[in-house]
Structure 1
């Protein structure tokens, strides 16, 4: 399999073998990053599952975020909080569609309004992560 990837390692295109070497050379001549991976290795994977390490050109599974959520339920009293730690530094977090940039790897969520708060993180090259914190 032939992969075209961005400078961040995002797989932009995949082509199954056979791919002629002259075609690969031509794609490279246009400034694209190109690598090959055995079709068998990709048999149970999609482009969303993998990334290419830009410094080495090695193909790997996208890592999971090592995030810890202290609790999924809090009192809606404006005091009790749920803490999320282990966030990439920096990263963007979506809370109910509102974007927040976290620079220190930690997010404290507190609410005085009863609701379910969906939290999403989609930080390349990590796999997306989401959780819901309920304030009651």
Structure 2
């Protein structure tokens, strides 16, 4: 009886936690073809992965603003932002490291401004996909 109870507890625990917290890395999602779809990428001639990468680069360039205080203090460097596109298609910043905190704040602002998109899907279930993006701040001359 105790063995049966133990087996049932383990079985129900694994079922209740199965795939709810699943997050794929960008590389794994790209390999499996389950990347999030950036707005208007569904009509693109590019693959969803190519379109996502291009739109992300464009988004960073268009939204980039060198912080005034960082300019005044001569700050430069590379900030790496780790984030996910969650199961609802929204951005969640997980970690930021590198360079000065003023530059980190700007990098976070840029990433948080990413538009809501169609989340990656595993079969028919939405899934979170993790990304890591370096943003380099070079002080203008």
Alignment TM-score > 0.5, same fold: no
Q: TM tier, shorter chain?
A: under 0.3
Point out which structure has higher relative CO (alpha carbons under 8 A, 6+ apart). Answer: 2
- Hey, which of these two has a bigger chunk of helix by percent? 2
Q: What is the TM-score with the length of structure 1 in the denominator?
A: 0.27
Q: What is the TM-score with the length of structure 2 in the denominator?
A: 0.26
- Hey, which of these two has a bigger chunk of strand by percent? 1
